[in-house]
């Protein structure tokens, strides 16, 4: 991903960002329709890339969540460079996570090393 390929989107800075978490083995978004990750084009899935020219509207659903959970297994969306290794889906501990957007995938990372996780 290079910076000059990043398309221009609408200014979403007026919408607050929220802290996503892993809770009970699920990716949890604490936001609502006013949160930044709930603003995306109304065409919803018709276009693979945003912005696509369609108007951004508020949604009840976080756009990140289905990307993280999409493969059906949290392990597939986990970026192990956070030092948390070899966890199975149901074994992901609760904790605050950040996310990164790849070419056509999303990864999450723990912000702080969760307790009880082996460090190797």
Q: What are phi and psi of 92, to 5 degrees?
A: -65, 125
C-alpha 106/C-alpha 77 separation (Å) is: 6
Identify which of 100, 9, 73 has the alpha carbon closest to the alpha carbon of residue 47: 9
- The answer to the question of residue 47 lying near Zn ion (CB under 5 A) is yes
**41 vs 114 by CB, closer to Zn ion:** 41
Q: Which of 22, 27, 31, 84 binds Zn ion (CB under 5 A)?
A: 31
Instruction: Fill in the per-residue mask, 61 to 100: x = in contact with Zn ion (CB under 5 A), - = not in contact.
Output: -x--------------------------------------
**79 vs 117 by CB, closer to Zn ion:** 79
C-alpha 54/C-alpha 52 separation (Å) is: 6
User: How far is Cα of residue 73 from the mean position of the Cα atoms in its chain?
Assistant: 14
Q: What minimum distance in Å lies between the beta carbon of 3 and Zn ion?
A: 23
Q: Which of 10, 16, 32, 52 binds Zn ion (CB under 5 A)?
A: 52
């Amino acid at each position: 991903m290079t910076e000059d390929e990043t398309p221009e989107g609408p200014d979403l800075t007026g919408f607050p960002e929220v802290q996503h978490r892993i809770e009970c083995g699920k990716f949890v978004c604490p936001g609502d329709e006013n949160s930044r990750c709930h603003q995306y084009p109304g065409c919803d899935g018709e276009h693979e890339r945003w912005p696509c020219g369609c108007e951004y509207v508020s949604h009840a659903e976080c756009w990140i969540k289905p990307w993280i959970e999409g493969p059906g297994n949290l392990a597939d969306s986990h970026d192990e460079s956070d030092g948390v290794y070899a966890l199975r889906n149901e074994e992901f501990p609760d904790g605050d996570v950040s996310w990164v957007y790849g070419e056509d995938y999303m990864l999450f990372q723990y912000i702080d090393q969760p307790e009880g996780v082996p460090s190797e």
